[in-house]
Every structure is written in C-alpha cells, then in structure tokens.
Amino acid sequence: MRVLDIGEVAERSGVVPSTLRYYEEIGLIASLGRRGLRRQFDGDVLLKLSLIAMGKAAGFSLEEIAGMFGRDGRPEIPRDQLRVRADELQRQMVELRTLRDVLRHVADCPAPSHLECPTFRKLMQAASRERLVYRPSRKSPRTR
C-alpha cells in the first residue's frame, strides 16, 4: 500500500492530525518515519483507524483497543474476549430497545403525569428488571 503523510491520513480518515499524533503517542498506531518533520503512514493505517473507531463505538477504551493489536500491528484479539463483548453488545441492544420504547411511550402518552401512567410504570419496571438503571457506568461514544 501507498505511503501517506499525516495530512492525507487526516483527510481520508476524518481523524484530525492532533488525534493521530495522540494515537501514535499512546502506541495505538505507528508511523513509518518522517519526511522532514512530517509523519508518514502506511496506507493500512486507514483500516486500522476504522477498527479503532469501531472499537470505540463498541465501548472499548483506547487502551483495550491497543491490546487487540499484535506487535505487527495486525488485529490479534483473544477470541473469547470478542465473544464476551459481542454478548455485551447484544444485551446493550436489548436495553436500548426498552429505552426506545419508554421514550416513544412518553412521547405519545396523553397522561398528565407519566408517574401515574400504568404503561409508563410497567416499562420502568421492565427497565429496572433488565438492570438498565443503577449500573456502574463507563464511557462510550455517541452521535451528536
């Protein structure tokens, strides 16, 4: 693959240079070297950045994501860890669905106070049963 300098990588990936530098600093990506001052990257970095973005979307921290690449920079993820995470995503989806339903109900329910609406209360209870609430939290990205 082609060699790209940081500006090109930034443009093609949508990841700004400061972030690319930061990623390099923490060892998440590696540059081939410099041309003058400019960092040069292997074209592969674009796919790697996609993986990183996906990992973030999946709720992995950068540190965890870094742990998923072997020394050669290729993905090297413990398979069962992946399955565990996939299952977590599955559960997360279920939660989101419940939540979506709650929001939709609240948007449509004509009851003066939701606190008195039985449907609302039922959904809330469902949410609690699923332990949607009162969970230790952790970060993951979202859309704006």
Partner DNA sequence: GTACGAATTCAAGTCGACTTGAGGTCAAGC
Partner DNA sequence: GCTTGACCTCAAGTCGACTTGAATTCGTAC
Residue 115 to residue 137: CA distance in whole angstroms: 25
Residue 41 to residue 25: CA distance in whole angstroms: 14
Biggest alpha carbon–alpha carbon distance for the chain: 68
47 binds, among its own copies, DNA, none (CB under 5 to 8 A by kind): its own copies
- Token couple for 5: 């300098």
Q: Angle at Cα 132 formed by Cα 103 and Cα 105, nearest 5°?
A: 15
Fill in the per-residue mask, 2 to 31: x = in contact with its own copies (CB under 8 A), - = not in contact. Answer: -----------xxx----------------
CB atoms within 10 A of CB 9: 23
The nearer residue to DNA, 59 or 105, going by C-beta atoms, is 59
Please give the residues from 20 up to 49 whose contact with DNA meets the rule CB under 7 A: 21-22, 34-39
- Token couple for 77: 């993820």
**Residues 78-94: b if buried by 16+ CB within 10 A, e if exposed:** eeeeeeebeeeeeeeee
Candidate residues 62, 106, 127, 132; the one interacting with DNA per rule CB under 7 A: 62
Please give the residues from 110 up to 139 whose contact with DNA meets the rule CB under 7 A: 137, 139
- The residue ranges that bind its own copies (CB under 8 A) are 13-15, 44, 47, 49-51, 53-54, 56-59, 74-75, 77, 79-80, 82-83, 85-86, 88-93, 95-97, 99-100, 102-104, 106-108, 113-115, 124, 127-128, 132-144
- The residue ranges that bind DNA (CB under 7 A) are 5-8, 10, 16-19, 21-22, 34-39, 56, 61-63, 137, 139
